[in-house]
Amino acid sequence: MTTAAPPPDALELSVVIPCLNEAETVGACVEKALRALREHGIAGEVVVADNGSTDDSREIAARLGARVVPVEAKGYGSALMGGIAAARGNFVVMGDADDSYDFLEAPCFLAKLREGFDLVQGCRLPAGGGTVLPGAMPFSHRWFGNPVLSWMVRIMFGSPVHDVYCGLRGFRKGWYEGLDMRCTGMEFATEMIVKASLFPSKIAEVPTTLHRDGRTIGRPHLRTVRDGWRTLRFFLMCSPRWLFLYPGLLLLLLGVVGYGLALPGTTIFGATLDAHTLLFASLAALTGHQAVLFALFTRAFAVSEGLMPPNARLKRWARFLNLERGLMAGIGAICLGATLLGLAVRQWWQVDFGNLDYAHTMRLVIPGVTLVALGFQTVLGSFFLNILGLRRR
């Protein structure tokens, strides 16, 4: 991740506020932000990134002293990208224009940034010392959606934050420019945290207070189901381990256990595991193997595109499991599977191509077909993984 140098005439702090038809509340946000700068002697500015407002939002913000930056591309993330790009401060504090965040708290974020942190995340939830005032957050968001998604980002990415959706946060602008942010919707906020956790970054958390939305007419831009799903989807796309690798390894394990029990015809609780169990085990093995391959493909592509940092452990495995070893393993599996299928054909030939004892013959046919398929996947996967790695060499 590269870090861009700030312009020579940069201010210390830019407060960036995305805005779309927030005439009721944007004025209060601008006034609080300017007051915080003034009372703490901070050389800064307030930037309102207007995303196509049709009310008086822009006029109100400009009259009160904000610098209004029009952003044509629609979306919460697009508005923030445009506002941050126009910001002249070495540090940026961003927050919503609905007056639910108190911009008088901006100096608390700046203090942490001055200590050397790259990202200072606000936390509204009690788990991180924050406060949610009565009526400020829907019940489902406070006790289910936000805690669950925040827990997931801690587990999946090792992030230290307790409130992944808190929109009040501060960061170094040069650090932000190295993130290569891409999400134009509500996922922008979570993308920043995920990338800050994946790439080497110093992250701090500051308790903050969430106030009741100051709007009485305007409609909230957040959509619970839609934006929750988009966040979960983004988490999974950024974590090949949880999306592909762990489920794939579990399926492979189930396949191996299934074969270990079904090949000798084990009886468990009165149920005999026979050819049908072998079919289920083969299904688990095939889908598991494919999921593991997808994990490797996705990781290689993400690293080559700069979406994820290189992984030392993966590099070691890549050196060991090179193209040639992959081809040898794949061809070996194909040959072994073909041998088993040949033995099955031989049994058929011995009875003059008549009826067979399928319970016996399928113990050759099912493993044979499975090994040929696994070998074929391995050969193709080895070539594809090598192609993906060409760009990094």
pLDDT digits 0-9 by tens, 144-160: 888 888 999 999 998 99
3-state SS class at 262 = helix
**Sign of the C-alpha dihedral computed for residues 168, 174, 175 and 176 taken in this order:** positive
Instruction: Name the β-bridge partners of 17.
Output: 48
**106 secondary structure, DSSP code:** H
Asked if 326 contacts 387 with a C-beta cutoff of 8 angstroms, the reply is no
| pLDDT value at residue 390 | 63
| pLDDT value at residue 219 | 59
Instruction: Name the β-bridge partners of 268.
Output: 271
pLDDT for residue 26 is more than 90: yes
pLDDT for residue 304 is more than 80: no
| pLDDT value at residue 136 | 85
| pLDDT value at residue 2 | 42
Whole-angstrom distance, CA of residue 228 vs CA of residue 179 = 23
pLDDT for residue 41 is more than 90: yes
β-strands 131-132, 209-210 pairing: parallel
Whole-angstrom distance, CA of residue 377 vs CA of residue 367 = 15
Longest alpha-carbon distance in the chain: 97
**Least confident stretch, 137-151, 167-181, 224-238, 369-383:** 224-238
Label residue 77 by pLDDT band (50, 70, 90): very high
pLDDT for residue 268 is more than 90: no
Q: What is the pLDDT of residues 90-113, one digit of tens each?
A: 999 999 999 999 999 999 999 999
Label residue 137 by pLDDT band (50, 70, 90): confident
pLDDT for residue 8 is more than 70: no
Asked if 94 contacts 80 with a C-beta cutoff of 8 angstroms, the reply is yes
Q: What is the pLDDT of residues 200-244, one digit of tens each?
A: 899 999 999 999 887 667 555 566 677 678 788 888 888 888 999
3-state SS class at 133 = coil
| pLDDT value at residue 385 | 84
pLDDT for residue 183 is more than 60: yes
Helix (H) or strand (E) holding 173: helix 173-177
User: What pTM does this model have?
Assistant: 0.77
Asked if 54 contacts 75 with a C-beta cutoff of 8 angstroms, the reply is no
Label residue 367 by pLDDT band (50, 70, 90): very high
Q: List % helix, strand, coil for the chain (3-state, nearest 5).
A: 55, 10, 30
Most confident of 113-117, 303-307, 363-367: 113-117
Whole-angstrom distance, CA of residue 97 vs CA of residue 25 = 6
Token pair 């788990």 is found at 127
Average pLDDT, the chain: 88
Whole-angstrom distance, CA of residue 176 vs CA of residue 296 = 28
Strands (E), 2-74: 11-19, 44-50, 67-70
Whole-angstrom distance, CA of residue 28 vs CA of residue 50 = 16
Residue 9 or 244, more confident: 244
Whole-angstrom distance, CA of residue 124 vs CA of residue 129 = 7
Token pair 């019940």 is found at 139
Token pair 């067979």 is found at 356
Q: What is the pLDDT of residues 326-355, one digit of tens each?
A: 899 999 999 999 999 999 899 888 887 888
